Amino acid sequence: MKKKYLVLQIKKEIENITKESSYKIYETLTDTFFYEDIFAYSKEEYFIDITNYQELYEQTPYQLAQNLKTKLIKKNHLEVKIGIGTNLFLAKTACDIITKTKKIEIAYLDEKEYILTCSTHKPLNDFWQISNSMMLKLKKLKINTMEDIRNYSYEKLYEEFGYNAEYLINHSLGIESTTIKELNEKKLPKTISACTKFETIKTKKEGTQELIELLDFNILKLKEQGLYTKNVYLYIKYANNIIPRETITIKLKNSTDSYIALMNSVLKTYSDKVNLFMPIEKLAISFGEITKRNEFSYLVPKKKKNINIAFKNLINKKKELSFLIRKKITFLHT
């Protein structure tokens, strides 16, 4: 059976979604799905693997989404919008873009439909994992749509964006291999890094914008993986090694993923400590002492129940029916 994913977004301000209401939303989701098939992406957004539930409930993905929407309205008094897709990226795109452009509450995308409807969509930062600074960098290359990415030299994209070019290329084609299981089991990285080597050497002032772009993308990665950092390492390589390269350590008071806190700390350090008179050849940023954001840990009980009672009863009925059918077949063959 082909994979199907569902991305659910609560139509409510983040500030209004409390710990208690998050728990109630999660409980409503587990009336229908296994804990293991749900990933809490944020306070107001959930990713769900619905592949095996189509057969279990004998419902289409749209019917599953509609029933879930109805439950959340009745039990939690929440309005939602839902994206369905053949991978997580397409489900997220359906939820973020298609529901908005078509003014509907449930939208579906597969690879073919994505190419037809989203290839020329603007702006690019409407798409998952494309930050503002990445979009500006793409604009400099005269890339304004997913179609432009598909038609651009992949070699040049890798030169410009490094490993992150893989995300851009795959997403321009509607490809995403990450699963809910992988998101739930993801191991903590030791660091999150980004670097850039200038084609022509830059002054300290000219390097500031490049540094902002590196930080912007790194913070985006931090947020998307649900992580915090407490140490930031700023690496500077001066042109022609006029003076030795240096690594400046920035220790933060608390672990954070705050855009403002990280941006202010790094830019202040860059302004105070980087040599004003030496041209710069290369800049790099690395986030260290990575920890997992635990704001949703309360959702899953320590002694985790795999399925709720209603769900268990449904599975038992199906098992019993399957057993009776096998028994009858066996009897007919004897």
Would you call 16 helix, strand, or coil by DSSP? helix
Q: What are the residues facing 8 on neighbouring strands?
A: 46, 82
CATH 3.30.70.270 placement within the chain = 5-115
Residue that has been written with the tokens 């490049």 in this structure: 210
Res 331 pLDDT > 60: no
CATH 1.10.150.20 placement within the chain = 122-181
What are the tens digits of pLDDT across the range 199-213? 788 888 888 988 998
- Yes or no: say if 238 and 281 are a contact pair by the CB < 8 Å rule: yes
Fold of 122-181: DNA polymerase; domain 1 (1.10.150)
Superfamily (CATH H level) for 5-115: Reverse transcriptase/Diguanylate cyclase domain (3.30.70.270)
For residues 304-310, average pLDDT: 52
Reported residue count of the chain is: 334
**Distance between CA atoms of residues 113 and 3, nearest Å:** 16
- Residue 162 backbone zone (phi > 0: left; psi -120 to 50: alpha; other: beta): left
Helical H segments across the chain, by residue range: 19-29, 53-57, 61-76, 88-93, 99-102, 111-118, 132-140, 146-151, 154-161, 165-172, 180-185, 204-224, 259-273, 309-332
Q: Which two tokens stand for residue 49?
A: 């693997």
The band of 23, judged by pLDDT with boundaries at 50, 70 and 90, is: confident
- Residue 192 backbone zone (phi > 0: left; psi -120 to 50: alpha; other: beta): beta
Q: What pLDDT score was predicted for residue 26?
A: 87
How far apart, in Å, are the Cα atoms of 275 and each of 13, 198, 205, 303?
44, 17, 11, 55
The CATH code of the domain at 189-292 is 3.30.1490.100
Cα dihedral 85→134→161→247 (10° resolution)? -130
Between the two ends of the chain, the Cα-to-Cα distance in Å is: 33
Res 45 pLDDT > 80: yes
Residue 286: closest CA among 235, 238, 228: 235
Backbone φ and ψ for 38, nearest 5 degrees, come out as: -120, 135
CATH 3.30.1490.100 placement within the chain = 189-292
Backbone φ and ψ for 261, nearest 5 degrees, come out as: -65, -45
**Distance between CA atoms of residues 274 and 280, nearest Å:** 10
Q: Could you tell me what percentage of the chain is helix, strand and coil, using 3-state DSSP and rounding each to the nearest 5?
A: 50, 20, 30
% the chain with pLDDT above 70? 84
Res 186 pLDDT > 80: no
For residues 63-80, average pLDDT: 92
Q: Which two tokens stand for residue 77?
A: 């008094």
For residues 317-333, average pLDDT: 47
